[in-house]
Amino acid sequence: MGEGAAEGATGGKYGVRLVRGPFVQLPRHPEECDEDTFLTYAKRLRNEGHRLAADLFSGAGGLSLGLEAAGYRVVVGIDVDREATETHRHHFGGLTVSWDLGDGERIERVAQLIKKAKVELLAGGPPCQPFSRAGRSKIRHRIRNGHADPSEERRHLWRSFLEIVTIAKPAAVLMENVPDMALDKDMFILRTMVHELESIGYAVEERVVDTSRYGVPQFRQRLILVALHANTAFTWPAPLPDQITVWNAIGDLPSVEGGWRPEGGADGWAEYEGPKNAFQRRMRDGMDVKLANRVQDQITRPVREDDKIAFQHMDSTTLYSDLPEELRRYRADIFDDKYKRLNENGLSRTITAHIAKDGYWYIHPRDNRTLTIREAARLQTFPDRYRFAGPPSAAFRQIGNAVPPFLGEQLGKAIRSSLEKRRRAVQQSRETGDALAQWFRRQPESHLLVPWLKASTRWQVISAELLLERLSGTQLWFSWKALEKWAKPADSLAAADALSAVLTGIGRKDRAGNLLELARRLADTPYVLDSDKTIHTALRAAHLGADAVADLAILAVPSLIDDDESEEPVLPVRGVLRVASRFTDEPTLQRKNTMSDGRLAVARMIGYGDAARDAHLGLIELAASVCRSESPLCSVCPLAKKCASSASRRRHNLGHPSLAQNSR
C-alpha cells in the first residue's frame, strides 16, 4: 500500500487518521487584467520604465518569480492547471489565464497579445511529448522543404511555443525543460527548435544546468535554452560561490509531527523563532509584519506507526533494503530507495511532482516524517510569503513542477545583461553545420582516415568498425578497399579465406571470427541491418559494442526501409568532443557527462536540416584527420575562423614573430 493509500486508511493495525486540507483559496492580484484591459496595463508599465516578460506553461510561477527578481515585470501567465493558475494570478499582475496552448486559435491570440504588448522576454517550459517516427518524418520534411507551420488543429506544446515566438518575435526567449524529454537519441525536438529559431534571426545557446550552482539546495538538472534576437550573443551566468545545504534551507523551520495541522485552517500558522543565515533571511523577505514570528504551510502528511519506526532506523545513507525485514512493505530488491532520509549537510534529491503522491523519498533529516509544504517550497527557493492554491496535494504538485525561482533570477539577469551589451554571436549551428557538411562532401574517399563514413551499406560500416578501428596509413586504405567489396554479410562469408588473409596482413586475424559469426547470424536476414528499428537488436546478439557500432552505421547510411525514418543519432564518439571543446573553448567538456553536455555540444556544431547528417560525419572525420590530439592542423580546418582555440592560437602567434612565421 502506497503512502496515499495509507493516508486514507481508517482501520487495521497500521492505518492512519485521514487528514484533509487545509484548502487554500487565494484572492486575485489587485492589478489583474483581462484581454480588454491588458494592452493598456502593459503600456503603462513600459512607460514607467519596466521591461516586460511573459511566462507560458507558467505553473505556480517559479520562473515568473525569478524573472521579477531579475528586474522584469511578468505580465502574462498561462497554464492549464487551474490551481496553479490561481496561484499565479494571486502573485502576479497582468493577464493570467487557464488556456490550452495546444489549440491553434489560442496560439494566434496569445502571440498577438505578446507582440502588441512589446514583451521583451518570452519564457516557458513546454512539455515535450514523445514522437512517433511518422511525426518526426513529417516535421523534418517540412523543415527541409521550407514549408509553413503545420495547420493541424492540435499542436505539440513545444511547437506551440515556437509558433508564438515566430509571430511575436520577442527580443529574448527562455525555455526550461527536463533534460531527458528533449535529449532523445537524435535530439529531435531540441535540434528542431534551434534550427527554426536560428532561421528567424535568433542566436541560440542551450545547456544542461545544475541548479545547485545557482543557490538551489537540491540536485536538480534542467535543460535551458536561451535565444536572443538579432544574432545577439548570450553569456551564461557565473555559478554562485556557495552551495546551500538542506539544513541551510530548512533548519530554522519549526519541528512538527507527521499529520499536524494548525488551528485556523488555511490561515493557520506555526510559531517561528527567526532566520539564522542569509538564505533563510531571504526566504523571509516580503513577509507581512503580522506574520513576522509565524510560518504558514508547515504541514505534512500523517505517518503510519510502522513507517515511523522504520524512519527511526534510518540516516541519510540507509537504503530501504537495509531496514529490518519486518519493517518493509515493499520488495527490497526492487525498491532499494523506496524510503530516503535527506542529508542535512548535502543537497536534497530533486523535488518533483511525485512528492504530491509519495513523500517517502523526502524524509525530514531529523524528524520522523516526510517534508512539509513549506520545507518543499524552501528547497525549491520559494519564499515563505508565497502560498499555493488548493489542498496540500495540489500545493506539493505545484512546487514539484516549478522552476526554482533562484534559477530564473540568475538566467533573467544574464539575459538582461546580454541584451544591454548587444555583442554579436560568433557561432551558429546552421553556419557551422553547413561548413562541416561542405568540407566533408569535398573530401575524396582516399583522403579520409575513416573512409567507411562514405560507405554504401551498413554492413561495410559494421565490418570496418569491428576490424579496422585505430588502423592508419596504407594499411587502413588497402584493408578498407578489400572490406568495401563485401557489401553484405553473405559476401563476407563467401570470402572468409580472403578476409582472414587481409586481417593476417595487418595483425588482426583474431577479429575475423567475431565478424564471420555475426555474418552467419545475419546471412539469411540481412534486411534487419537496413532498419533503424532492428539493427541494434541484431548486433547486440553477437557483439558487446553493438550500440555504438549500430549508431554509426545508422548515421553513415540512411535507412533503406520506406516506413523507417532514419534517426540521425547525435554521437559524442571518436574524438568529436575534443573538437567541440576546442571550438567552444570549454576545456572541461570532455570530462563532463557525454550523454548530456557532450551531445549538446555536438548538436550545436552539426545543426539540423538537410546538411546535418553530412555535418556529423564531417565532424567525426575532422577529429580523426585535422583536429588531432597532438599538433592539430588548424590551417586546413574548415572551422578555423570561428574556432575559439584557433583564434587564441593565432593571437598567441602574433605576439611571437617566429611562431607566426612557422604557422603560415
Give the residue numbers annotated as catalytic, written as ranges.
128
Amino acid sitting at position 341: R
The three three-digit cell numbers of residue 186, written as one number: 537524435
**Closest C-alpha to 346, from 423, 247, 473, 278:** 247
Pairing of strands 172-177, 202-210: unpaired
Report residue 50 as a C-alpha cell. 519596466
CA–CA dist 421, 60 (Å, integer): 32
**What sign does the dihedral 130-134-140-146 (CA atoms) show?**
negative
**DSSP secondary structure, 166-196, as one string:** HHH--SEEEEEE-HHHH--TT-HHHHHHHHH
User: To the nearest 5 percent, what fractions of the chain are helix, strand and coil?
Assistant: 50, 10, 40
* C-alpha span between 642 and 214 (Å, rounded): 30
Cα dihedral angle (307, 312, 315, 316), rounded to 10 degrees? 30
CA 29, chain centre distance (Å): 33
d(CA 663, CA 649): 10
Please report, to the nearest 10 degrees, the dihedral formed by the alpha carbons of residues 218, 219, 223, 224 taken in order.
40
The radius of gyration computed from the CA coordinates of the chain, to the nearest angstrom, equals: 29
CB distance 461 to 448 below 8 Å = no
Question: Which three cell numbers mark 4?
Answer: 496515499
Residue written as grid cell 555559478:
239
Q: Say if strands 72-78 and 95-97 run parallel, antiparallel, or are unpaired.
A: parallel
- Name residue, grid cell 493558475: 85
**Residues sharing a CB contact under 8 Å with residue 524, sequence separation 6 or more, in sequence order:** none
In angstroms, the Cα distances linking 270 to 71, 514, 551 are 32, 69, 57
